[in-house]
Amino acid sequence: MGRRGLTIATLATAGALLAGGGTALAGDGDGKGRRCERLLERIAEKRGITVAELEAKLAERALARIDAALKAGRISEERAQELRTRVKEGKVCGLLKQARQARMHNQRAVKRLLAGAADYLGLTKEELRTELRSGKTLKQLAETKGKSVSELVDAMLAPVKEQLDKAVSEGKITDERRGAILDRLAGLANRLVERTFAASPAAA
């Protein structure tokens, strides 16, 4: 995750236009890259537009996501400009591969944070899932149990902090990157405690 994860996450909605394409969009190697290009050609044809117009739509959505992240204070102006440049210079198939990876990273992060929440609330993962699917928020569950919401967030982040501290001590990441990762996950945790989940909390 970390800085690269944030970069990818801003592009994650780009793949929405390709829903129903039916195959893997992109991957390593020329063969998979060519399959992605052919898929774009088929989708563009189905929509009655050119591949260039489809690529422009994908880039437009990615840029809108970046602007939204900047407005919400999740990234700096400098970072936003860097991301805009990457979108404008990037190949669509490469961006779609990154978007797919972003969704996977985000789903794993949500599962880890919810596991920390379950432990803090004294629930099993299955029990927490049932409560969330009933329409309750993590904040409501904490308040019902007389627990602090701020301490809930801390508990959600605790396992991640431990892993990141270990990674720093082993020289695998810098302290600066550790801070960036924690900032991103803290924002995610704070959004999760207020969120009303739909059918599957792991799909946040």
Instruction: pLDDT tens for the chain, 204 residues: list them.
Output: 443 443 434 344 344 444 333 333 334 445 556 777 788 888 889 989 998 888 888 888 888 888 887 887 767 788 788 778 877 776 666 666 666 776 788 788 899 999 999 999 999 999 999 999 999 999 999 999 999 999 999 999 999 999 999 999 999 999 988 998 898 899 889 999 999 886 544 444
Q: How far apart are CA 140 and CA 134, in angstroms?
A: 12
Q: What global pTM score does this model have?
A: 0.58
The answer to whether residues 26 and 95 touch, using CB atoms and an 8 Å cutoff, is no
Asked if residue 1 lies in contact with residue 105, where contact means CB atoms within 8 angstroms, the answer is yes
- Residue 104 in tokens: 């996977």
Residue for token digits 């959505």?
A: 61
Quote the tokens at residue 18: 């390709």
Q: What is the pLDDT of residue 203?
A: 42
The pLDDT score that the predictor gives to residue 48 is: 93
Question: What pLDDT does 57 receive?
Answer: 85
pLDDT, residue 2, reads 40
